């Protein structure tokens, strides 16, 4: 399985049951830009006993693929060790504006130093010096070495949904 969606053109379908008659499917490049621009994401993973675990986090997009990091002992990391399936959601929290996005896929561990270096640069550019990681030994080390080094994951989508709100409500599904 590839660790990137770059160059992929998923099939976009509008679900007429949940869409205004004049709505059109959102093109994937537009959704990918919105996904990359979001500041906060919600990650859903599955606990060992089958219960869901949901947590907010920050993330960055590299090569049109969403990435996030976490401490290796955190619940989400332990869940992903057993079951890589996850869901990432983001939106603006309003009813009549924007587009909420839901990405279903698998979280794939990123340990390549060059890719981690790119992720570190993206975190600093997007979130500022507080998130200026250093790539070292297959992990992202917090600024000044304070805190536990984080493991990074790429979310490889299998399908995604967009829920356009406002003047024209529309539900787009993308299949990868």
The pLDDT tens digits of the residues spanning 28-48 come to: 999 999 999 999 999 999 999
- How large is the average pLDDT for residues 135-163? 94
pLDDT bin (cut points 50, 70, 90) of residue 1 is very low
For the ranges 4-8, 24-28, 100-104, 154-158, which has the lowest average pLDDT? 4-8
Mark residue 98 as left, alpha or beta (left: phi above 0; alpha: psi -120 to 50; beta: remaining).
left
CATH architecture of 11-175: Roll (2.30)
Residue 147 reports pLDDT greater than 90: no
Residue 73 reports pLDDT greater than 70: yes
The domain spans of the chain are 11-175
Three-state DSSP string of the chain: CCCCCCCCCCEEEECHHHCCCCCCCCCHHHHHHHHHHCCCEEEEEECCCCCEEEEEECCEEECCEEEEEECCCCHHHHHHHHCCEEEEEECCCCCCCCEEEEEEEEEEEECCHHHHHHHHHHHHHHHCHHHCCEEECCEEECHHHCCCCEEEEEEEEEEEEEEECCCCCEEEEEEC
pLDDT bin (cut points 50, 70, 90) of residue 93 is confident
């Amino acid at each position: 399985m590839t660790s990137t969606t770059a160059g992929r053109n998923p099939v976009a379908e509008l679900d007429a049951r949940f869409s205004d008659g004049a709505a059109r499917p959102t093109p994937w490049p537009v959704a990918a830009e919105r996904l990359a621009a979001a500041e906060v994401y919600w990650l859903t993973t599955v606990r060992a006993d089958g219960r869901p675990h949901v947590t907010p986090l920050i993330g960055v997009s590299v090569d049109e693929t969403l990435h996030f990091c976490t401490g290796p002992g955190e619940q989400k990391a332990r869940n992903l060790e057993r079951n890589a399936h996850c869901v990432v959601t983001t939106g603006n929290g309003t009813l009549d504006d924007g587009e909420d996005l839901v990405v279903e896929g698998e979280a794939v561990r990123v340990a390549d130093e060059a890719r981690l270096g790119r992720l570190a640069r993206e975190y600093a550019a997007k979130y500022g010096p507080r998130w200026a990681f250093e790539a070292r030994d297959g992990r992202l080390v917090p600024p000044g070495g304070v805190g536990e080094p984080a493991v990074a994951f790429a979310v490889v989508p299998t399908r995604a949904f967009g829920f356009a709100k406002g003047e024209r409500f529309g539900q787009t599904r993308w299949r990868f």
